[in-house]
Structure 1
Amino acid sequence: MTSAQNRPVRLGVQVAPQHALYPKIRQTVATLEDLGVDVIFNWDHFFPLSGPRDGEHYESWTMLAAIAEQTSRVEFGALVNCNSYRNADLQADMARTIDHISAKDTGTGRFIFGTGSGWFERDYDEYGYEFGTVGGRLDALAESLPRIEARWAGLNPAPTRDIPVLIGGGGEKKTLKIVAKHADIWHSFSDPETLKRKLGILAEHGETVGRDVSEIEISTELRQRDEKEARELFELGTTLFTIGLSGPDYDLTPVKKWLAWRDALNG
């Protein structure tokens, strides 16, 4: 799995819905689309992950519907949805609805269904969900994805396109097998050495489940990376790079830097 796949390099920006009021988030989303980013993400948590633990924070899915209506070009989704918080069929219907909202200008939706098994225990405890175990949450994700796909196939109206499924996580026994079966995009925080090893494991899972995993777009967080390391990740096949921004300021300086890097790679 290499850059020979000839996918364009894309830049995604995660606008963490924390430590800012919604007008600032709306403005940031508008500016990011105008700057030319490819994907805008939020996250699916109920409390801040950094800074003051009880700081300002918003829910993910209602915000995604607003982003669908506000924007006209950029793709968007959660990085990532927590499978534990909602019934699988409901998740599918919510995704289909947001897909249609975002298709207002072209007839084709722009929603990416990013999902994962969940990990932030405070979310579970304070909202009344059973935290369970890592393995149990991954098993639940594996059970939910076929239900989501089946619900998409039966909804009326159907989604406007095959909604891309992004799966986040790097677990080698369970997560990467789920990725091999269901993902259009795989997101991780891997450094080049780790990514190379995990891509080999993903290919083995692909053989087991009967899928050519070169179809899967590779996504990696740019946190704390320089251009040299990003280039190494690109050479290994990464074509979606993401940056995380947090309120209250949402400093766009690194976004502009990495947009220039993306454009140089894409020629």
Structure 2
Amino acid sequence: MTRLGYQVPNFTYPGVGSDGLFEAVAAQAVEAEESGFDTVLVMDHFYQLPMLGAPDNAMIECYTLLAALSQRTSRVRLSALVTGNTYRHPSLLAKTVTALDVVSGGRAQLGIGAGWFELEHDSLGFEFGTFTERFEKLEEALRIVIPMLRGERPSLEGTWYSVHEAINSPAPVGRIPVMIGGGGEKKTLRMVAQYADESNIICAPDEIPRKLAALDEHCERLGRDRSEITVTYQTSAVIAPTKEQAQAELDAAVAAIPELAARAGGVILGSPDEVRPIYERILASGVDGVTVNLPANGHVPGRVALLGETLAPVVNRS
């Protein structure tokens, strides 16, 4: 399960074209593994998100990238943060995640959510639907994907999906953990309690206790052992040897990708000694771990390693 995850949030780097892009991403994954991260995660999108760049900024298909990264790493788990359920039929998703597990030697993790980026759906022809419909689809998908990952042959005649004795062979190498992303207290956290091994939440830090209390309540009502579920908290950071360097790298990134300005106020920025206590406070709020991205300077050699070396001791003693 994830306790310290490194997420790659963008693929637009100064002076890097398509021919060098994979190597720039792989270098981050290797630094993450060597510096103490236990999971490497990438976004499952086809257009860049509004707060990270323009729609036509580079975005590599998630599962192809994860499979390639599995060949450059040996220990870290590999996951989407998170798979958009609306992009694939659940039986195809089960086969895809299982293939990742096989080629990685048992390191796949399924991160999944209901989907939310309407522009991407409309432009590329994926049905978006209503908020309620997307969550109905997600729950039906979980009733197909999870049994397929566990060696069962599910059948379902649902409102949105149908399968009949769905076979998943070869089987995963090991047990593939399931993470559900999102902090919705009524729908999302209920599904976490019912189906998942892990929850990844995005919210203001002072909202974390309320999210955890909602998850506790769902677990109690459903008869789920709350201790079976790991909760991670999603964050963005800009770290460098000094705060001045970190600020300069953020400023340079915003100059190159103006959309990042909207995200700048929410990043955890500074030197290791300034970043570390902020994460200590986050972990003290009750979460089991954190996922972190470096939207401004993850591509700078050594920055992912600096982040891992700073946070791994904090997470491991929490």
Displacement of 1:173 in angstroms is: 1.0
Higher relative contact order (CA 8 A, sep 6+): 1
Q: 1:204 corresponds to which letter in structure 2?
A: E
Displacement of 1:72 in angstroms is: 0.7
Name the CA shift for 1:57/1:41 in 2 (closer, same or farther; >3 Å): same
Alignment of 1:23-172 (within 5 A): 23-49=23-49, 50-103=52-105, 109-152=106-149, 153-154=151-152, 155-172=168-185
CA contact (8 A) 2:29 2:40 kept: yes
Q: Deviations over 1:9-55 (max 9, x none)?
A: 93211112421422211222223223332111100000112223312
Displacement of 1:261 in angstroms is: 3.4
Q: 2:279 corresponds to which letter in structure 1?
A: A
CA contact (8 A) 1:43 1:81 kept: yes
Partners of 1:52 and 1:78 in 2: how far apart? Answer: 21
Displacement of 1:258 in angstroms is: 5.0
Q: 1:260 corresponds to which letter in structure 2?
A: T
Question: Any runs of at least 4 consecutive aligned residues in structure 1 with deviations exceeding 4 A, and if so which?
Answer: none
CA contact (8 A) 2:71 2:104 kept: yes
Match of 1:260 in 2: 310
Displacement of 1:187 in angstroms is: 0.4
CA contact (8 A) 2:297 2:303 kept: no
Partners of 2:276 and 2:34 in 1: how far apart? Answer: 24
Alignment of 1:225-244 (within 5 A): 225=268, 226-244=275-293
Could you tell me which runs of 5 or more consecutive residues in structure 1 were left unpaired when the two chains were aligned. Answer: 1-6, 104-108
Partners of 2:23 and 2:307 in 1: how far apart? Answer: 25
Q: 1:53 corresponds to which letter in structure 2?
A: P
Q: Deviations over 1:189-237 (max 9, x none)?
A: 2334311111111111112222012211110123334544422332233
- The question of 1:10 aligning with 2:7 is answered no
Partners of 1:197 and 1:10 in 2: how far apart? Answer: 20
The two structures have a TM-score, normalised by structure 1, of 0.87
Q: Deviations over 1:53-106 (max 9, x none)?
A: 312221111111111222111111110100000000111111111101111xxx
Match of 1:19 in 2: 12
Partners of 1:254 and 1:61 in 2: how far apart? Answer: 22
Partners of 2:65 and 2:304 in 1: how far apart? Answer: 24
Say what the alpha-carbon RMSD is for the aligned residues.
Answer: 2.2
Of all paired residues, the percent bearing the same amino acid is 35
Q: 3-state DSSP class of the match of 2:126?
A: coil
Match of 1:182 in 2: 195
Q: 3-state DSSP class of the match of 1:27?
A: helix
Q: Deviations over 1:130-169 (max 9, x none)?
A: 1112221111111110110122223233212221011110
Partners of 2:7 and 2:58 in 1: how far apart? Answer: 17
Partners of 2:297 and 2:64 in 1: how far apart? Answer: 20
Larger-Rg structure: 2
Alignment of 1:200-211 (within 5 A): 200-211=213-224
Q: 3-state DSSP class of the match of 1:55?
A: coil
Q: 3-state DSSP class of the match of 1:222?
A: strand
Displacement of 1:254 in angstroms is: 6.2
Name the CA shift for 1:124/1:265 in 2 (closer, same or farther; >3 Å): closer
Could you tell me which runs of 5 or more consecutive residues in structure 2 were left unpaired when the two chains were aligned. Answer: 14-20, 153-167, 237-266, 269-274
Partners of 1:231 and 1:159 in 2: how far apart? Answer: 35
Q: 3-state DSSP class of the match of 1:238?
A: coil
